[in-house]
Amino acid sequence: MSKTTLLIATAALLVFAITTAIWFGTPGETPETQAIKSLAGKYLRAVYAQDYERAYDFISSRDRRTKSKATYLRENPSFPEPTRALVGELARLMHIGKVTATLSGERATARFPVRLPDANSRVLQELFQGFDPDRLAAVAPEERQKIIKVAQTMSQEGRLPTIAGTETLDLIKEQGQWRVFVNWTDAVRVTFRAEVKEGLPWAFEPVQKVVLAKPGETLHAAYRAKNLTDTPLTAKARHIDQPKELAAKYLDVIQCFCFIRETLAPGEEKEFPLVFRVDLDVPRDIKEFIVTYQFFPLEKFPQGPSAAKQGAG
């Protein structure tokens, strides 16, 4: 994964982490709120550290029937160690204010103010070496401990860059245990399609045809292409998003392979990653976006303003 991709992933992690909470010992805690506190703390630390394999274990079985673990991990690549461990230590420095929890049978909704370390700030980017796993892997264990200590000292002295907000967490009780209720059944469907144009002799398809996207989540997807000939071929892609006007407003393609020439050797197969997000403010009546990527032979790639408008997303 490139450094740019990791920075995007870090931003997504922060937005998502803001929607989760951990309780500190506030007066009047009941056994139920203590159980919710335990779950929320484990889940929050896993999400903030991008340990998504662990995070998935805290999600409701109702959600897991909708989105498998393999799918979830493909859409949410985890930080490798030691990045995950370092960010996990950073997660311990967040502060959660007074929580207002509403319990209704097997469901719970919690609202709360939250302040967490801003991993996109210049100070933390420099301290944690851009959260680049390759650079952090080369850091000696004693140096990693120094990084953690510096962050802890900044927090104690009130110098740690933070993000503040007020958010909501939904939970559901299953077999007597609280679980995070993501509600993927109500997510926006993003359908990916693939086309080769002008006789390009490539096999081309989305790795995953449908992604269920909760508004505000930054997710990863990919396409796969293979050169079916015995000669090198260069091609260029564009994407067309539908419905056009709504997609332009509410579907953000953050990173993709469009408008960049790609060369495949004879018989070579390659995956092309993309990162996208459905806007947090998408109207609830919008249930699906369709994203079509088209690969053209380089010399036949459409030119002109009309082609650019079609391919913009």
In tens, the pLDDT along 73-88 reads 999 999 888 788 888 8
pLDDT for residue 278 is more than 50 = yes
Q: Output the domain CATH number for residue 80.
A: 3.10.450.100
- Name the domain boundary from 182, 200, 218: 182
Q: What is the pLDDT of residues 136-194, one digit of tens each?
A: 888 898 999 999 999 999 999 999 999 998 778 899 999 999 999 999 999 999 999 99
Q: Are 21 and 167 in contact (CB under 8 A)?
A: yes
Which of 148, 182, 216 lies at the terminal end of a domain, its last residue? Answer: 182
The whole-number average pLDDT for the span 255-281 is 95
Query: Do 10 and 84 have their domain in common?
Result: yes
Question: Are residues 263 and 296 both part of a single domain?
Answer: yes
- Do 54 and 82 reside in the same domain of the chain? yes
Residues 35 and 113 reside in one and the same domain:
yes
Task: Say yes or no: 139 and 195 in one domain.
Answer: no
Q: Structure pTM? A: 0.81
* Whether residues 70 and 178 fall in one domain: yes
pLDDT in tens, 25-60: 455 567 887 788 778 778 888 888 899 999 999 999
Query: 182, 213, 234 — which closes off a domain?
Result: 182
Identify the domain containing residue 192 by its residue range: 187-311
Distance CA(120)–CA(115), nearest Å, equals: 14
pLDDT at 60: 97
- 169 and 230 share a domain? no
- Let me know whether 65 and 15 are in one domain: yes
- What CATH number should be reported for the domain holding residue 262? 2.60.370.10
Same domain, 196 and 298: yes
- Least confident range from 4-8, 64-68, 211-215, 254-258: namely 4-8
Residue 3 has pLDDT above 70, yes or no: no
Q: In this structure, are 177 and 193 located in the same domain? A: no
What's the pLDDT score for residue 27?
52
**Pair 298, 246 in one domain:** yes
How many structural domains are present in the chain? 2
**Same domain? 167 vs 105:** yes
